[in-house]
């Protein structure tokens, strides 16, 4: 996918961060849509095939993940947007709108300032041990995390139960069992009382009916 339109807001030149960079030709307001990230739309499998022979320590990439099926290869039919560098404290962000990727300003940008966004490169189990070094970040911001990769996902560990906590849990469990047994006992008593009352009431009615029947039979005699 080629873009014939050239953004009037940016220019490409050497960058202190990394190789070639993109800079603001004039002041850019917050929220402005600066440029579109374009290139050939390919599958993830094709992207892997194209770059499988890349050198181990080569962190150069023009690939941009669009969705679970598609990757944009900015190295094929791309625009100047492919030269935008990573920053841990970026002045821009990427926005996907109707299968297209745009670069938008998250704050006001001064004339001559370098355009940057967070690459947010995800980690993988197959990554080399020195992956953070390979994708080292040189943005120089106060918030720099030292790498273009996202921080490792934190694994939640179960807290070890201390003797004090274990005792508390044991006591609470005993109380719960005792309470449950008490409730069952109370419920059983109530059930017995209800059955007895019903039986007594039925017995009385039966006795009266029987007496009335006898009385009637006697009068007929």
- Give me Rg for the CA atoms of the chain: 38
Rounded-to-integer distance, Cα 116 and Cα 118, Å:
7
- The two most distant CA atoms of the chain are separated, in Å, by 129
Tell me which residue of 48, 55, 59, 112 sits closest to 86, measured CA to CA.
59
Taking a C-beta distance cutoff of 8 angstroms, is the pair 93, 106 a contact? yes
Rounded-to-integer distance, Cα 147 and Cα 99, Å:
28
**pTM of whole model > 0.75?**
no
Taking a C-beta distance cutoff of 8 angstroms, is the pair 47, 71 a contact? yes
Q: What is the pLDDT of residues 10-32, one digit of tens each?
A: 999 999 998 899 999 999 999 99
Partners of 137 in beta bridges: none
Q: What is the pLDDT of residues 137-193, one digit of tens each?
A: 999 999 899 999 998 887 666 666 555 555 666 656 666 656 555 555 544 333 333
């Amino acid at each position: 996918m080629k873009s014939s339109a050239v953004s009037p807001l940016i220019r490409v030149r050497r960058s202190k961060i990394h190789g070639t960079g993109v800079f603001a030709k004039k002041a850019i307001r917050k929220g402005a849509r600066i440029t579109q990230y374009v290139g050939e739309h390919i599958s993830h499998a094709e992207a892997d095939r194209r770059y499988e022979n890349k050198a181990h320590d080569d962190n150069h990439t023009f690939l941009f993940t669009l969705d679970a099926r598609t990757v944009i290869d900015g190295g094929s039919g791309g625009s100047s947007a492919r030269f935008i560098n990573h920053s841990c404290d970026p002045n821009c962000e990427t926005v996907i709108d109707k299968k297209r990727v745009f670069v938008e300003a998250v704050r006001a940008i001064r004339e001559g300032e370098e355009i940057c966004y967070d690459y947010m490169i995800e980690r993988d189990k197959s990554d080399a041990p020195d992956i953070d070094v390979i994708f080292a970040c040189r943005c120089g911001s106060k918030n720099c995390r030292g790498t273009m990769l996202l921080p490792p996902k934190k694994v939640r560990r179960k807290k070890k139960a201390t003797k004090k906590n274990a005792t508390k849990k044991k006591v609470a469990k005993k109380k719960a069992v005792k309470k449950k047994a008490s409730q069952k006992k109370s419920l059983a008593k109530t059930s017995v009382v209800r059955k007895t009352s019903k039986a007594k009431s039925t017995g009385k009615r039966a006795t009266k009916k029987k007496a009335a029947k006898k009385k009637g039979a006697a009068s007929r005699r």
